[in-house]
Chain A
Amino acid sequence: MSDNENWIKTYAVSDIDDEDVKEFQLPNGNKIAVYNINNTFYATDLFCTHEKVSLCEGFIDGDSIECPLHQGVFKISTGEVLESPPTEGLKTYITKIEENYIFVNVS
């Protein structure tokens, strides 16, 4: 895969409000969550690592996302578990902004 193909165009910057998160489906079928935290954009896997529930239904508090099911907390920028029940961190993706679009690197 060339480097260009690794960058997937997701939402326009204006599509996601500050302190909000949106679900996005990658070409390989995997689903991710794209976040706007203070106009910095992050991407992680969509599902909590504890059970298969979408983190887009969760609560964003600063740089962390609280899972809606059992309130496990992950750090959005690194994916690390801040509060159990999950024990496994979330996969994170590098992002960049080009022409007002959020690109996610899937390499």
Chain B
Amino acid sequence: MKEGNFITTTLESLIGWARKYSIFQYPFVTACCGMEYMATAASHFDIDRFGAGLTRFTPRQADVLFVVGTISHKLAPVLRKVYEQMTEPKWVVAFGTCTITGGLYDNYAAVQGIDAIIPVDIYIPGCPPRPETVLDALMKLQEKIQREKQKWSLRK
């Protein structure tokens, strides 16, 4: 920008823009989908290009929860606690068929979709999803974050 030039925007979209390119993810990895998550995070697909390169291994510093892999009923209270420990604003990505519907584990052990435990923003289908699908979902999430109205109160 030359001296004296300026751009106008709204505070809302400025905040959305800043947030969508500074995603700190918390990978909650429990099963085989983790392999594909690692492939996405590693240098070949390079999730850092989307501003989501920094993983945080404490929910208190993260704002996107990646739930990757089968969630059993035994683990359900842990997942909910992790979600509750994350500070606002926060988003949840359901990674793989198991997290969306329970996948092929239609039995006593697996939770039939993590949206029975926590609210979910983006669903990534596949068993496991390819890294391209994950990146697509990440961009969709960024669109969602950009569009989001800024509420200065707690989410329901």
A binds B: no
